Amino acid sequence: MYQTILIATDGSELASKAVEHGIALARAVGSKVIVMTASEVGPAMELAQQSAALGYAPDAQFEAAIRAAAQRILDAAAHKAAQANVPCSTVYVPDSYPADAIVETAREQGADLIVMASHGRRGLNRLLLGSQAVNVLTHSKVPTLIVR
C-alpha cells in the first residue's frame, strides 16, 4: 500500500506520537520511513539572513545550535525506527517554513503518505499562528495522516 512514509516532526510531545504512529504503520505495511524536521524562518533567523545580506556573517554558534537541535530530533526518531526494525532515513531542511518543507520533501523523496501531528490550535491562536497541518493538507498532493 505505502512504500515510503514521510514523518514530519518538530520534536514536541505531540509530534512524538505522530513519529510512533508513522513507524508502527510502516512496520505493519512493510514500508520505509523518512523522518524530517525543518528549522522555521523566525525573527532570529530573519535577522541573521539580513545581517548576511549586509555582509555580516551569521552567528555560527546560533546556526550550529539549531542544527544540533534538529539532529537530536532526527536521531531520536531514527532510534525508534531502528527498534521497530523499520528502514529509516532522515532529512533536515534549514530556514524553511515547516509546511513548505514537508510538502517539498514529500515530493522530492517520492513519499506515498505524510504522517504529522496537529497541535490543535483554535480561534485567535490558529488565525495568528496558522496551522502547519492545514497548510500541508491544502498544498500537498500526497495523502496525509494527522495524528492528535
* pLDDT of 40: 77
Distance CA 15, CA 118 (A): 8
* pLDDT of 61: 73
What's the length of the chain? 148
* Nearest alpha carbon to residue 20 among 70, 69, 67, 76: 76
Domain carrying residue 57: 4-147
Q: 52 vs 45, 57, 120, CA distance in Å?
A: 11, 5, 36
- The angle subtended at Cα 44 by Cα 121 and Cα 140, nearest 5°, is 45
Quick one: cell of 23?
513507524
Number of domains in the chain: 1
Give the domain CATH number at 76.
3.40.50.620
* pLDDT of 110: 98
Distance CA 28, CA 82 (A): 14
* pLDDT of 127: 47
The residues of the chain scoring below 50 in pLDDT are: 125-129
Contact 88, 35 (CB under 8 A): yes
Which amino acid, 33? V
